[in-house]
Amino acid sequence: MKLLIIDASMRNAKATPRVVKWVEAAAKKNLSDIEVAVADLQSLNIPRFDEPVSPMMNKDRQPEGQVKDWLDMLAEADGYVFVTPEYNHSIPGGLKDAIDFIDYQIMKKPFLAVGHGGVGAARAVAHLKTMLNANIGAIPVPKSVNVLGYVGYTNDIDETGAATTDAVRGLEPALVDALESLSWYMSALKVAREV
């Protein structure tokens, strides 16, 4: 099985890569039977969503370029971790555009939301769960992980993904528990999709 961890921030000065590395290290250590890959939306350079027909309603759709690359990465994975900051009580605009391009690649597949920011990106995480589940049909695992504080400014997680404060170290059992839950859903839903 394959897990795709998604860095959902497109800012040049961003702390999300630190959180992604923290999640990646925990996944590789605790989910030994799962291949782990990372996608950085900033590097993918996904354009603004401007398709004339909703992707799920366009039978003749032929995605190209960065959009096709993004959709292919999603299609190849069995589960996802979306790592997102919170901007103005919601997800970043670039992540919204990336989501709007999705049609069936993540349907009936599970995802975990990991938020970071002043309130642990709790509102962004709630919006993300609704967006991915309501129409696209991805399955949110019941747990999420919320890293309180401004990781990039406070250095709660260093550039290698190592927790440097007791606050973040204290979240590591919850992260492992959430990843193990995601792994269970990945396995169960993969079997169900193949029936």
- Answer for the pair 5, 23: CB distance below 8 angstroms, yes or no: yes
What DSSP string describes 24-53?
A: HHHHHHH-TTSEEEEEEHHHHT------SS
pLDDT for 177 beyond 70 = yes
Q: Is a pLDDT exceeding 90 seen at residue 173?
A: yes
Nearest to 6 by CA among 55, 50, 42: 42
Q: How many CB atoms lie within 10 A of CB 12?
A: 6
Predicted local distance difference test score (pLDDT) of residue 14: 87
C-alpha span between 17 and 184 (Å, rounded): 25
Bridge partners of 194, per DSSP, are none
Q: Kindly indicate the confidence band of residue 135, based on its pLDDT and cuts at 50, 70 and 90.
A: confident
Question: 108 near 134, Cβ under 8 Å?
Answer: no
pTM attached to this predicted model: 0.96
Run of H or E including 16: helix 16-30
Helix, strand, coil % in the chain, rounded to nearest 5: 45, 20, 35
Whether the predicted pLDDT of 13 surpasses 90: no
Backbone dihedral angles phi then psi of residue 28, each to the nearest 5 degrees: -65, -35
Segment 76-92, tens digit of pLDDT:
999 999 999 999 999 99
Query: Which residue intervals of 35-142 are DSSP H helices?
Result: 41-44, 65-76, 93-100, 122-134
Q: Where are the domains of the chain?
A: 2-194
**Of 1.10.260.40, 3.30.390.50, 3.40.50.360, 3.30.450.20, which CATH number belongs to 2-194?**
3.40.50.360
